[in-house]
Chain A
Amino acid sequence: MTTTPIRGLGHPVKRKEDPRFIRGKGTYVDDIKLPGMLFLDIVRSPYAHARIKRIDPSKALAMPGVVDVITGAELEKAGLAWMPTLMSDRQMVLPTDRVVYYAQEVAAVVATDRYTAADAVLAVEVEYEPLTPVLDPFKALEPGAPLVRPDREQKTNHIWHWEAGDKEKTDRIFQEAEVVVSQDLYIPRIHVCSIETCGCVVNYDRATDKLTIWMTSQAPHAHRTVFSLVSGIPEHKIRIISPDIGGGFGGKVPVYPGYVIATYAALKLGKPIKWIEDRSENLQADSFARDYHIHAELAATRDGRIRAMRVHTVADHGAFDAAANPSKFPAGLFSVCTGSYDMEAAHVAVDGVYTNKPPGGVAYRCSFRVTEAVHTIERMVDILADELGMDPAEIRFKNFIRPEQFPYKSPTGWEYDSGNYPATLQKALDAIGYQELRREQAERRARGELMGIGISTFTEIVGAGPSHTFDILGIKMFDSAEIRVHPTGSAIVRIGVQTQGQGHETTFAQIVAEELGLPVENIIVEHGDTDTAPYGLGTYASRSTPTAGAATAVAARKIREKARLIAAHLLEVSPDDLEWRDYAFRVKGAPDRFKTMQEIAFAAYTNFPQGLEGGLEAVCYYDPPNLTFPFGAYVCVVDIDRGTGQVKIREFLAVDDCGTIINPMIVEGQIHGGLTMGMAPALFEEIVYDENGTMLTGTFMDYLLPTAMETPHWKTDKTVTPSPHHPLGAKGVGESPTIGAPPAIVNAVVDALSHLGVRHIDIPITPAKLYQILVEKGVAE
């Protein structure tokens, strides 16, 4: 029997991927260097809206080292001036006649080195005729507004209207309600800002006709299919390799024009092409997130029982709808905005609008617009509490979906799998000393000091998704795993999802270790290469564990069933006489007679029963029966500096429930990172445009990413309510803190000022914005 510990579920196994990252031995796209490689750089528009009158590449082409200048006119001949977005819109690869957002791709330069390419970009002469941009989505909807997309049949900036819930019933409740509160909330544009920018290396082998693309992709298989459909190259002749990825967060799900241009250039020139964005290009032109203008209302009884919710949102998608939502959900899973509360009815409507801003609407660590949903409900509940003079904790306890109501059918049609909201909130309140904090707050207020306590009790919705409802461009959102156990008892696992820091190489190995009783260090996890990994939809929206994690467990169980037959053969008993216990097949009633998986694996290649195939491997394409619904209770305590308007987070406690935990250390790491990423838009981050549509936040001097210095000491804790339908009981976790933290922080800041009549502040709550409020309320120092 093996003496090496298995370290399956629940063990804080150190991340297998870290030794290479810590030593600087990761391989990112920019580390790929091929002989004869050329470099591509992109000419970008200085205007948010302009007609292109002329592009003259002659000066650039005359520079030594410049190989080619590619324009939209040339791509048009190849049928590649436009490409489909994942939202079934279309997007310019390179423009033929007009640009529709600042920093849009205008032309591309190919040169023998990166420096020459950058110089040549400046030498391409482009003559523009500026047009009036439309930047405000409300103005974009007015008659006579400049048309962002004259290429479309519909001559309007309105993209789509989408709704969920029961409008009639909701309206009826609102009409008769004792109390109604309403609020406009704006969730600004923000950017995913992964530390590795986007890019690719494309190599077309003319001898084999094979196109290999190393690409910063969160979804390499889906991208291969899209590339094949767009280019007409047979899918087996395209190989996409997504190597180590320096952060994705949703920003590496879309296909960017640069990928397509680089591929075109590689095919045309027969040389490998490298294209890597710089930081400003990444900030200025890659898919953004959020930009939701929300009008929300709650109807309630006078004693604080929420009866209904009504939400109308205007979603600014920029010039192309290049979000990466499941096809049936143009507003993502925003309709989960009734949150953790039981109510009679809800109605949610969203209108998508074009403006002269960069395209997108990607999920930025928010599992498809859930950040927006949670921010809305968690703010609205506090606003209702304020209206009724109730404590924010009390109103939550009063309205929570009760544990016995699960599985709970929400008024907008979701079926929450499991939860125990009161227990989680109670744990958080007890741990932080809620009553004591309220006493302290009263004392401080009496002294003129501003201290606030904020609560957020969010429900996430992750693990897209069941094939009956979820697809991207028609491809169902299952995910996959393939496991091969080698003769000596080690194994390789290949998965359809693609890690960007989540620790898949460790957690997926732990799942297999647990299911097969093989030590975790003997299991290697591979992903990201479309020639070897099974087809999957990729990693985003906290879907890997709910989908590919389940696939891995199911595939391992298939292997175990075969192993049972081999064990029975080795032990000369009937398979029914065996039970799987303590990581081995044991004879029932005689547990000392057993075979370990290592012994069985050897037999699978050397001594298997007649009639059984040799080898020990299995594949599973897992179609989840439902989504999973992680949840949590966060409490934040802030102090406000009356002399500067600065918010100081004194304490922050996050109690998360993500069901069964595979690796507690990785979960804690995900929560720590996620909390900082949740604090960022609450207090710091915002993409800002001037009145011409020029982006003002195109560097990290202006786009404020918090660092360790701004990050408070996060306290974390957990409750465990397994998912009833996931094979391991696991849910997702990566995005819970990102969606849960912002309202906890905002609620705390508003709470600090509630006695002065402040009810809502839009994020980011910058010192300048807050100071202005302090001045208005007469409490600035």
Chain B
Amino acid sequence: MIPGPFSYRKAASLEEAIALLQQYGGEAKVLSGGQSLIPMMKFRLAEPAVIVDINRIPGLDAIEERNGILAIGGLVREVALERSPLIRQRYPIIADTAEVVADPLVRNLATIGGNLAHGDPANDHPATMLALRAEVVARGPGGERVIPIDDFFVDTFTTALAPDEILTEIRIPAPPPRSGGAYMKFERKVGDYAVAAAAAFLVLDEAGKIARAGIGLTNVYYKPIRAEAAENALVGQVPSDGLFRTAAELAAQATDPTTDLRGPAEYKRAVARTMTLRALKAALSRAQVA
């Protein structure tokens, strides 16, 4: 578990980091928390020639609400999300998610930007961001662009980011009244990636019907997915156990998991259903008090 040879560059600014990425082309990799990249290098699954460390770049670690959105800097660590009063009070679904990522040692370093940019369907934040209809802000040689989350995850370990682009911010619409979300993950042990996990976000109208629904799923498809049919089944309906079961079943049908040590595909699909059901119930009870 010793990485191959590489050289290390520490960028002081976004401009410098982008210039370095341009200079080395596909040979270079951005280093954030390093909790996905470094293990892959140690197993020699990734052998980048150059590491561009962006940890010293100022201004990428803020969590703030402005103009009806929540903006989370790309370098915000999991531990900061877990502890942020703003996140805990207004966005408990994000706190749910951060808390079940890996273990405390990893969470002290791992960043939300890296969690999305890695493009790993096993990572937890993508599902939540899909359920919340987030946007990803990227900076590259040509300036800044905003990518809707639905366009962000392209393939396993592949996102819409170009090799010389840096994820700088994640934007999430501020929660409307009567909304609530929850993330439910089933893992074999703490620190494990999900057998299956589900993020659910619900907005109720004044009559108590579901006005908007978001459901994202973790580790049950070749990339993070949104369970669109399940969402559609919920909208316009009065929440009930039966309705949630139908939606959970639709979510399970949207999955295409692989059989591995976490269990057979059929099992993972069943767990996706259970997690969706439980996430919907938790989201509803939060929406009803919000």
Contacts and interface: CB of A to CB of B under 8 A. Distances in A.
Contacts of B4: 119
Chain B interface size band reads 20 to 34
Interface string A766-781: 1110011001000011
Q: Which of A115, A704, A768 has the most CB of B within 10 A?
A: A768
Interface in B260-278: 261-264, 267, 270-271, 274, 277-278
A118 interface: yes
Interface string B186-203: 101111110100000000
B1 A280 contact: yes
Chain A interface size band reads 20 to 34
Contact of B274 (A118, A280, A644, A684): A644
| Interface class of chain A by DSSP | loop
B190 A644 contact: no
Contacts of B44: 122
Interface in A675-696: 684, 688, 696
Contacts of B289: none
Interface of B: 1-2, 4-5, 43-44, 103, 186, 188-193, 195, 261-264, 267, 270-271, 274, 277-278
Contacts of B193: 701
A612 interface: no
A115 B2 contact: yes
A710 B187 CA distance: 11
B261 A710 contact: no
Interface in A635-679: 643-646
Nearest to B259: A768
Contacts of A702: 261
Contacts of B5: 115, 119
A706 B189 contact: yes
A704 B186 contact: no
A771 B270 contact: yes
A709 B189 contact: yes
A278 interface: yes
Interface string A694-736: 0011010110111101100000000000000000000000000
A189 interface: no
Nearest to A775: B270
Nearest to B274: A643
A704 B189 contact: yes
A706 B190 CA distance: 8
Contact of A767 (B43, B103, B195): B195
Nearest to A279: B1
A190 to B, nearest CB: 15
A707 B192 contact: no
A646 B186 contact: yes
Contacts of B43: 699
A16 interface: no
Contact of B261 (A280, A688, A707, A775): A688
B6 to A, nearest CB: 11
Given A707-B189, A772-B267, 7 more contacts: A119-B5, A644-B274, A704-B189, A704-B192, A705-B189, A709-B190, A767-B263
B191 A766 contact: no
A680 B101 CA distance: 22
A707 B188 contact: no
Contacts of A51: none
A710 B189 contact: yes
Contact of A696 (B2, B192, B261): B261
A15 interface: no
Contacts of B271: 643-644, 767, 771
Contacts of B277: 643
Nearest to A707: B190
B2 A278 contact: yes
Contacts of B270: 771, 775, 780
Interface string A249-268: 00000000000000000000
B195 A114 contact: no
Contacts of B262: 768
Contacts of B2: 114-115, 118, 278
A643 B190 contact: no
A707 B1 CA distance: 22
Nearest to B196: A644
Contacts, number: 65
B261 A767 contact: no
A283 to B, nearest CB: 11
Contacts of A699: 43
A285 to B, nearest CB: 14
A699 B43 CA distance: 10
Contacts of B103: 707
Contacts of B264: 768, 772
A679 to B, nearest CB: 11
Given A278-B1, A702-B261, A684 B189 contact: yes
A697 B262 CA distance: 12
B278 A767 contact: no
Q: Which of B103, B186, B193, B277 has the most CB of A within 10 A?
A: B186
A181 to B, nearest CB: 30
B186 A707 contact: no
A555 B270 CA distance: 64
Contacts of A278: 1-2
Given A119-B4, A704-B188, A709-B190, A697 B274 contact: no
B188 A767 contact: yes
A684 B274 CA distance: 21
16 contacts: A114-B2, A119-B5, A278-B1, A278-B2, A280-B1, A643-B274, A644-B186, A644-B271, A684-B188, A697-B261, A705-B189, A707-B103, A767-B271, A768-B262, A768-B264, A775-B270
A264 B247 CA distance: 66
Which 3 residue pairs spanning A and B have beta carbons closest together? A768-B263, A643-B274, A118-B2
A608 to B, nearest CB: 59
Nearest to B103: A707
Contacts of A705: 189
A766 B263 contact: yes
Contacts of A775: 270
B191 A707 contact: yes
Interface string A729-770: 000000000000000000000000000000000000011100
B188 A766 contact: yes
A768 B262 CA distance: 7
Interface string A263-298: 000000000000000111000000000000000000
A697 B278 CA distance: 31
Contacts of A772: 264, 267
A772 B190 CA distance: 22
Contacts of B263: 766-768, 771
Nearest to A700: B191
Nearest to A281: B1
Contacts of B278: 643
A627 B109 CA distance: 51
Nearest to A708: B190
A688 B259 CA distance: 14
A767 to B, nearest CB: 7
Contacts of B261: 688, 696-697, 702
A701 B102 CA distance: 11
A620 B262 CA distance: 53
A279 B39 CA distance: 13
B83 to A, nearest CB: 19
A118 B43 CA distance: 11
B205 to A, nearest CB: 29
A289 B271 CA distance: 32
A252 to B, nearest CB: 20
A777 to B, nearest CB: 14
Nearest to A768: B263
Interface string A104-121: 000000000011001100
A688 B260 CA distance: 11
Q: Which of B1, B44, B261, B271 has the most CB of A within 10 A?
A: B261
A705 B189 CA distance: 8
B274 A781 contact: yes
Contacts of A701: 192-193
Contacts of A118: 2
